[in-house]
Chain A
Amino acid sequence: MSSLHLKDFVYFEPTTTAEVTSLLAEHGAKARIMAGGIDLIPRMRAGSIKAEVVINIQKIPELSLFEYDPAKGFRFGAMVSLHTLDTCQELKKHFPIIQKAINQITSVQSKYMGTAVGNVCLATPASDVSPVLMVHDAELIIEGTQGVRTEKVADFYTAYYKTTLQQGEFVTGVSIPKVAEGTGAAFYNKVRTHADIAKITVAAVVNVQDGVFQDAKIALGAVAPVALRARSAEAVLQGQPISEELIQKAAEVAMNDGSPISDFRSNKEYRLDMIRVLVGRALNKAVNQAKGVQHV
């Protein structure tokens, strides 16, 4: 056993969100939020994150709330665990790809401890959670000393492991709008082994009215410095009559939306080609679902 120990830090246990924002404002970049801690603690131990102040948000009751409102959609707080979401029947019913993306995470313990918001705030390009939230147009609720603002998950990432969070701000929850009639969704990822993080993740949500793409959202993970929406591929579909040719065209255009690298998980060429394959597959599946065709 290696014997790495955590370096010294000051530990705070706020019970309100206002206490969190004032601590963050006071301590700036020296401070880190701890939600489940499943990512933070190992990184602090390894020294890749140096935190002089740790702010544990586990004792703020309102952050553990979640609710489905048929008129509005689903909301959940920053301390709602991946396990709670995985086993939430309403999430599974109304947003099945979000539940699926969480469900396929293999480590059960990491789902009990880890939060979906922690996963999003990590800002890893290989998140399975961010792409499914992006295609459902989910918004983060962000609180700072100046008040509350919202930001779409799709606009949250600015660069590799960087977000739009400013000093004094943290994420208190997520709000996912309700799904309109005629909507279908799909999620795919490719992994080396089931326990490894994805080498590519693709999510799609389409809304179909009278054979036309009323709306199409596509998101990609692990093929660029950040998880992102494939906006140029979406533009190909928007308002157009559905056809296999159109879907294949969008899938090809989506290759320009990514900028994958080669690493030990996969190489650039494979990832690019898999964008095409999986975007095509995801769009077809989402369209069939939107039309009420059972997918086999």
Chain B
Amino acid sequence: MFRIEPKKSEVVSFIVNGQLKEVILKGPNQTLAEVLRIKLDMTGTKESCQCGECGACTVLVEGEPVLSCSTLAIAVRGKRITTIEGLAEGGVLHPIQQAFIDSGASQCGFCTPGMILMAKVLLDENPEPTEDQIKEHLGGNLCRCTGYVKIIEAVQLAAKTMKSVGA
């Protein structure tokens, strides 16, 4: 049975945004958010409440949305992880990122990575969501600046551009 003792070094790997990353964990008590932000220096993933309430720390594990503040890194070793850094391709922003800029849907930006990743999960599954479906899908993501209207507009705009470019 797999076990890991406190402070014991364990080499684990993740496939982060398509790239194999190796990390040395010192014991099992590190969250996925800590590994991404501190060990891998990928600070696009934000940590705000650290208790599951705000959605800022959302990343995708095997395509499913996960709160990285409440996930043990050791438990998702070997898995495919998508963070906000993985969305742009060749220096071109993903249509959802572009739509957030064009709609003014980001102010301080703390909620934005989580919002965008949730929007991606939604639009990948449902390219033409209704306003209610967008609201429902973003129900676990809090924004303290923008006031949601522009965020919903951004997701609607992204849906339109993604449809027209067939992304």
> In whole angstroms, what is the CA distance A41 to B50 when docked?
9
Residue of A nearest to B142 (CB): A195
Residues of A within 8 A of B58 (CB): 109
A68 interfacial by beta-carbon distance below 8 Å: no
Contact A15 B1 (CB under 8 A): yes
- Given A10-B6, A108-B65, A113-B71, also A46-B51 (CB < 8 A): yes
- Given A13-B2, A13-B3, also A45-B71 (CB < 8 A): no
> In whole angstroms, what is the CA distance A5 to B69 when docked?
10
Contact A38 B27 (CB under 8 A): no
A56 interfacial by beta-carbon distance below 8 Å: yes
Residues of A within 8 A of B66 (CB): 109, 112-113
Which of under 10, 10 to 19, 20 to 34, or 35 or more describes the interface residues of A?
A: 35 or more
Contact of B64 among A56, A106, A110, A112 (CB under 8 A): A112
Residue of B nearest to A4 (CB): B50
CB distance from B151 to the nearest CB of A (A): 15
Residue of A nearest to B2 (CB): A13
CB distance from A6 to the nearest CB of B (A): 4
Contact B72 A11 (CB under 8 A): yes
Residues of B within 8 A of A34 (CB): 72, 75
Q: B-facing mask of A1-28, CB < 8 A → 1, else 0?
A: 1101111111111110001000000000
Contact A19 B1 (CB under 8 A): yes
Contact B28 A9 (CB under 8 A): yes
Residue of A nearest to B54 (CB): A107
CB distance from B44 to the nearest CB of A (A): 14
- Given A37-B70, A42-B70, A45-B50, also A8-B27 (CB < 8 A): yes
Contact of A41 among B1, B31, B47 (CB under 8 A): B31
Q: A-facing mask of B1-35, CB < 8 A → 1, else 0?
A: 11111110000000000000000000111110010
Contact A41 B139 (CB under 8 A): no
- Given A8-B27, A109-B66, also A37-B75 (CB < 8 A): yes
Q: Which residues of B contact A (CB under 8 A)?
A: 1-7, 27-31, 34, 47-48, 50-53, 55, 58, 64-67, 69-72, 74-75, 118, 136-140, 142
17 A/B residue pairs, CB under 8 Å, sorted by A: A6-B31, A7-B29, A8-B7, A10-B28, A11-B28, A13-B75, A34-B72, A41-B69, A42-B69, A107-B52, A107-B55, A108-B65, A108-B139, A112-B66, A113-B67, A113-B70, A113-B71
4 closest A-B pairs by CB: A107-B140, A11-B28, A106-B139, A8-B6
